[in-house]
Amino acid sequence: MKISAAELARILAGHVEGDEKVEVDRPARIEDATSGSLSFFANPKYEEFVYTSKASVILVSSDFVPSRPVSSTLVRVNDVYAAMATLAELFGAETELSPGISTNAVIDESSRIADDVTISDFVVVGPNCQIGAGVILHPFVYIAANCVIGTETVIHPGVKIHRSTRIGERVSIHANSVIGSDGFGYVKTEGRYRKMKQLGHVLIENDVEIGANVVIDRASLGATIIREGSKLDNLIQIAHNVDIGKHTAIAAQAGIAGSSKVGNDVLIGGQVGIVGHINIADGTQIQAQSGVTTNTKEQTRLYGSPALPYTQYLKSYTIFRKLPELSMEIDVLRKKLRELEKQLEHLQANS
């Protein structure tokens, strides 16, 4: 697909500085872009590349003021990142699969499949499922019995969706994620662990995105829930009966133990661990590699393991890393104190 700078400006409600007729056919990073490519500049630390880039077109903020001549055509927009998101959809549309149901797919005759779906090679759809309009199932997707997949949802290669899972509209689940696997539930009797049957399911609401290699366990009873608009990065573990609130974002390698409730608009950094049966309040922000062991208050920022209020942790860390120096200073003070005590004893003895 080729598109001119003028057409880009029209789509993005921006304006062109330079050659309106120049065409681009691919996006590229600004530092290694070549002729015919489209790049963008939003982070000030990359400004030097604006003047040296070979990109045909560069998206820049409407208030960007170059300090040197720029050879590329500029398209000025109000929000560079939002503009790139729009263009990513535009360029990415060419790579989508063709609509239709592959003859290599296996679909149980009891399942209801909308007319305008894309079901690729080696997809398996079990009994009594409902697949909505506009759904795209990439190769090797497995959907077990009694599942519902909402309209315009995209499920990428190798995803496994276990029984009775409910997935909303416009959901995206990336490669090799597992939705609805057994929760980690056991009872120890007579010195041995006995597995408890997990009878619940997983509910994923509308506009959720789930990264690659994410595991979301089905509930022991009831539902494990990912609510509307939440975004999960790769390699995340969500245990049984967890409830993730609306528009919450969780970075890679985080883990949330069973029956914990995470509120709306929460930000969870990479490698965060959250223990079971606690409440993470709305608006909480948890820094990477933190461990949360207690309930939080709304709009709290946490850091550390166990996690402390963010500013309290930074103050504590400032003291902690100086402990060796403080220890030496304390030793010096202790010696001086002993000397003073000896001098005082000597004066008292001679008085």
Using CA atoms, how far residue 59 sits from 11, 49, 105, 226, 255, in Å, is 13, 13, 42, 35, 37
Q: Which of 15, 240, 247, 346 is catalytic?
A: 240
- Using the structure block, give the residue that is written with the tokens 């080729």: 2
Residue 174 a catalytic site member: no
Beta strands 172-173 and 192-195, pairing class: unpaired
Structure tokens at 53: 């880039």
Query: Residue 100: beta bridge partners?
Result: 118
Strand ranges, E, within 41-120: 57-61, 73-77, 100-101, 106-107, 112-113, 118-119
Task: Answer for the pair 166, 203: CB distance below 8 angstroms, yes or no.
Answer: yes
Structure tokens at 68: 């040197």
Task: Answer for the pair 38, 14: CB distance below 8 angstroms, yes or no.
Answer: no
Scored b (16 or more CB within 10 A) or e, 164-195 reads bbbbbbebbbbbbbbbbbebbbeeeeeeeeee
Local structure of 349: helix, strand or coil: helix
Rg (CA), the chain: 28
CA quadruple 341, 347, 348, 349: dihedral, nearest 10: 110
Task: Answer for the pair 134, 154: CB distance below 8 angstroms, yes or no.
Answer: no
Quickly count: other Cβ atoms within 10 Å of residue 346's Cβ: 10
Helices (H), 93-149: none
- What's the CA gap between 173 and 122, in Å, rounded? 17
Which residues are tagged catalytic?
240
